[in-house]
């Protein structure tokens, strides 16, 4: 976990420096307080999954950019296991495990996400053109996309434009497990 926290700190500082943003500007773009961003950059605090997703969205980068440890070599094909770290905190409502980290050539992330009973995760809109594919593997999930609710059972899926507010709610007493494929527009790709 310490290695992951150091990677989070380095990645956040690098992204902020690359954009020439102050902590205040980063806070405006992400919706995460200046104090929290500073604590993460100094390695003093580990963000929740929801906070890290807000940071990734605010910086317009894939979530897995924060999880891919730099010393991990590029995976060979076929890839049977992710080389990225699982992201969760003690007593967290949500655990995110990348299956395939962001691939700039293909423009996607693929995650397994576990939601504890009663878990609620609300997501800010991603950049224009981002599409999510949510496939329920176990349990029942309430998915709200731009104010419209969808009830998904195991083996059901929903594809939606993720550049609008959306959220995930496990209203049951059982764990919910999903695959979440996030497709980002590839710069210069032919439509």
CATH architecture assignment, domain 94-183: Sandwich (2.60)
pLDDT digits (tens, 9 = 90+) for 100-149: 878 778 888 899 999 999 999 888 888 899 999 999 999 999 999 999 99
Q: Does domain 2-66 have CATH number 1.10.260.40?
A: yes
Q: Mean pLDDT over residues 73-97, rounded?
A: 59
pLDDT digits (tens, 9 = 90+) for 115-124: 999 999 888 8
Q: Decide: residue 108, CB within 10 A, 0-12 exposed, 13-18 middle, 19+ buried.
A: buried
More confident residue, 64 or 2: 64
Q: pTM for this one?
A: 0.72
Delimiting residues of CATH 1.10.260.40 domain(s) in the chain: 2-66
Delimiting residues of CATH 2.60.120.10 domain(s) in the chain: 94-183
More confident residue, 74 or 156: 156
Q: Which two tokens stand for residue 188?
A: 């210069």
Distance between CA 146 and CA 75 in Å, rounded? Answer: 36
State the chain's mean pLDDT as an integer: 84
Sign of the Cα pseudo-torsion (59, 62, 67, 69, in order): negative
**Which backbone phi and psi does 18 adopt, to 5 degrees?**
-60, -35
The β-bridge partners of 169 are: 120, 142
Q: What pLDDT score does 189 carry?
A: 55
Distance between CA 161 and CA 134 in Å, rounded? Answer: 11
Q: What pLDDT score does 113 carry?
A: 93
Q: Strands across the sheet with 157-161, in order?
A: 94-103, 108-115, 176-183, 131-138, 157-161
Q: Which is nearest to 184 in space by CA: 98, 126, 123?
A: 126
pLDDT digits (tens, 9 = 90+) for 148-162: 999 999 999 999 999
């Amino acid at each position: 976990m310490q290695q992951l926290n150091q990677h989070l700190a380095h990645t956040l500082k690098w992204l902020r420096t690359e954009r020439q943003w102050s902590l205040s500007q980063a806070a405006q773009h992400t919706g995460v307080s200046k104090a929290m961003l500073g604590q993460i950059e100094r390695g003093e605090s580990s963000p929740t999954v929801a906070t890290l997703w807000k940071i990734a969205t605010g910086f317009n980068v894939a979530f897995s950019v924060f999880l891919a440890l730099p010393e991990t070599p590029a995976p060979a094909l076929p890839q049977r296991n992710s080389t990225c770290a699982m992201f969760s905190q003690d007593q967290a409502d949500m655990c995110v495990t990348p299956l395939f980290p962001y691939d700039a050539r293909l423009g996607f992330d693929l995650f397994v996400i576990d939601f504890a009973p009663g878990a609620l995760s609300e997501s800010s809109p991603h950049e224009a053109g981002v599409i999510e594919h949510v496939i329920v593997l176990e349990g029942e999930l309430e998915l709200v996309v731009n104010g419209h609710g969808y009830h998904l059972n195991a083996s059901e899926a929903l594809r939606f434009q993720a550049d609008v507010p959306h959220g995930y709610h496990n209203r049951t007493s059982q764990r919910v497990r999903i695959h979440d494929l996030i497709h980002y527009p590839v710069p210069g790709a032919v439509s």
